[in-house]
Chain A
Amino acid sequence: MAHTVPVGQKWWSGGKSPFNVEYGKLMMWYFLMSDAFTFGAFLISYGTIRFSSSSWPDPNQVFRSFPVIGQMSVPLAFVSLMTFILIMSSVTMVMAVGAGQMHDRKAVMKWMFLTILGGLAFLGCQAWEWTHLYGEGAWWGRNPFINIDQTQSTTNFTNYFFTITGFHGFHVFSGVIINICMLIKTWRGDFEKTGHYLMIEKAGLYWHFVDLVWVFVFTCFYLL
């Protein structure tokens, strides 16, 4: 909290925004807040079901495949790659926001392009993972995996996995679409006309939120 309210400054007496941010950015924060509760509800429901089950499949057993290398078992390697891609695209997004603050149109376009590539790479990885699991017989309503203590597992495992990673993947997809729109607007010079790159900052907030949710999805499904 680098910028606390200076002593004697009256933020609530009118004439200026008490939050010191633009309206649209504030609303983006509140939208993300509500979205966080949606994801939270999904993940907590998953947690409740998991707590009520006597056992659960071992993520190291289920998620141990990697493209190209065939049957070799590398637990969690692929999902780590996905995590790395998403964190990396978050960094390029911050760079785009920074370039926007400097009004450097070329740099904004470069960083937005890299962010979009990162998003597409993540979606590609997820498509591969889903296809692979489908090939192993896992889908909504079908669970080929057994619990870690060798007892019969239920379809709760696959239902939650596909629903929550799917919902997150849909957020990544919409994020990519938003970023493509922002790239086109930057390219057309729209933000030069309005005089600021705040739209990039708002798209950036959304994109980081997607990364934030992935951190929780990653822990809940692959580590715990």
Chain B
Amino acid sequence: MDSSHTTTGFEKEKNSFDTKAIWKTFWILLAITVFELIVAIIYFETHFFPKHILNGVFVIMTLAKAFFIVAEFMHLGHEIRNLVMTIAIPACLFIWFLVAFMWDGSSYHELRMRYDGYQFEQSKTKVKPVEHKEEGKKPGVE
């Protein structure tokens, strides 16, 4: 096919491009996003289900979208296993990052609520919403 490439030693796939698969991926991504929005708005209007379950659903949906973008749009799903693994294995570090830092965050929250009187007071004191339109408004903006 192209003479310039045989020297670098990789085999180019011939006409691997699949328009149908791309549109299918697009519709999947769109459907997931619309679903997320509908659920978010139902929650906002009715507070029908507990927020932490909803958050779990959002995280799973996000990971699904990320998978489709990386596998189809970025074509990683069609590369050879060696390449997939050099990307996928380091990405697993994120599991540890998330667990460690979220854990640390909630521990810090507990400590503050227990030992920091000011923070504890703040978390109990209701305030009135600021009038947005007056404050910080500059002429010529909005």
Contacts and interface: CB of A to CB of B under 8 A. Distances in A.
B132 A216 contact: no
B17 A76 contact: no
Given A36-B91, A91-B23, A134-B136, A98 B17 contact: yes
Contacts of A205: 74
User: Size range of the interface on A?
Assistant: 35 or more
Given A76-B40, A87-B26, A135-B137, A224 B58 contact: yes
A146 B93 CA distance: 35
A87 B40 CA distance: 20
Contacts of B127: 146, 150-152
Interface string A87-122: 110110111011001100000000000000000000
Interface string B123-141: 1111111101101111001
28 contacts: A2-B78, A3-B78, A11-B80, A33-B90, A45-B101, A48-B101, A51-B108, A52-B109, A75-B40, A75-B44, A80-B37, A83-B33, A90-B69, A91-B73, A94-B22, A102-B17, A137-B137, A144-B130, A150-B127, A152-B125, A195-B2, A195-B4, A211-B69, A212-B66, A212-B69, A216-B62, A216-B66, A224-B58
Interface of A: 1-5, 11, 15-23, 26, 29, 33, 36-37, 40, 44-45, 47-55, 58, 60, 75-76, 80, 83-84, 87-88, 90-91, 93-95, 97-98, 101-102, 131-132, 134-139, 142, 144-146, 149-152, 194-196, 204-205, 208-209, 211-212, 215-216, 218-219, 222-224
A50 B105 contact: yes
Nearest to A77: B37
A211 B26 CA distance: 12
A202 to B, nearest CB: 11
Contacts, number: 212
Given A21-B79, A87-B26, A223-B58, 4 more contacts: A94-B73, A134-B141, A208-B69, A212-B74
A58 B17 CA distance: 43
